[in-house]
Structure 1
Amino acid sequence: MQIPSSPHNLLDQPSAWVTRFAPLIPDGDVLDLACGGGRHTRLLTGLGHALLAVDRDPVALRHTAGLNVTTQQLDLEDAGFAWPFAEERFAGIVVTNYLHRPLFPHIFRSLRPGGMLIYETFAQGNEHFGKPSNPSFLLQPGELLKFVAAEQRCALRVLAFEDGYLENPRPAMVQRICAIRAESAVAPERLRLN
């Protein structure tokens, strides 16, 4: 579904990274943070998850709403913003094409034990390919790994990490990580990668 009036609509297909790891998210509620037009919300509801889709764009949220989808309009960068989600609430959290560094501790802590984080966004060098080009919105080399390693309250285990150039769906420099909150045993079949 194309959303003509939304700036989030550059891509309609789910990210290959999210598509690869989404089947590993355990049963339970999933947060699609900065969901844009809902491409990952649709993917995840198709896998049987109930979704909380969050974005600041009300147009995008109207098009994202649907069966097993709750939407919430939030400006995650507002000066008075307070993280509204409980610790250990979500079985999975998906974030793509969005970076606001102060949210990382909150994101990690909102994963329940055994919950999975799938994160993909732009990295240093993307300024050569277009927007975003502002260093505030570009990860430094290895920065996602550093955020995960620095988290003291939740033990996160990295399943996969990539940092480099992507040709498709458009040329870009990206970093992406898939990590699981490892405070409890996870069934081995859940982590089997194909």
Structure 2
Amino acid sequence: MTGLRELQRQRVREAISSAAIRLFLARGFDEVPVTEIAAAAQVSKPTLFKYFPTKEDLVLHRIADHRGEPARVVLGREPGVPPVEALRRHFLDGLARHDPVTGLNDHPEVMGFHRMVFGTPSLAARVSTYVEQDERALAEALTGPYDELTATLLAAQVLAAQRVLARRNWQALADGVPPAELEPEAVRAAEVAFALLRVS
């Protein structure tokens, strides 16, 4: 059970992040100083840095739940389900839910978030670091079913495929394709990608 103090910490953290994202989306990541974010969230600058050690953390904590997700999917799969099949099902489920991580979500804040992350070098570099960490974790999770080389190669290929699929979906939405029209093509593309990833 979450205690009162922890709930208060979560509220403060969310208030800071929401203020930051709102300002960043309105004016650009590099144009908003941390002091302005702290003032908008009604906290001191030292308090802000206690919750978010870097300016990038103010943005990227929004995707923290997805860090290590591919490895968790493989490790938590049902008995008898091959790893790539578990990852395929998970990605297709994300498409059905319009999970932003799949790129199939046209909410204005989600679209703006994607543009900001991939258009800001420091944020894009941090995301690349996360991808590398996810790749290592997935390779480790795959070393049970596969030998080390196969696991390492497959992990890199899976994450590259998911990244290409998500960026392809996001770009189509940015070009004005409605989500309902895009979804069947996004599913078809995912099926093609995961078919290419299957190993014996």
Question: Shorter chain as normaliser: what TM range?
Answer: under 0.3
Query: For the pair shown, which has the larger CA radius of gyration, 1 or 2?
Result: 2
TM normalised by structure 1 equals 0.25
Relative CO higher for 1 or 2, CA cutoff 8 Å, sep ≥ 6? 2
TM normalised by structure 2 equals 0.25
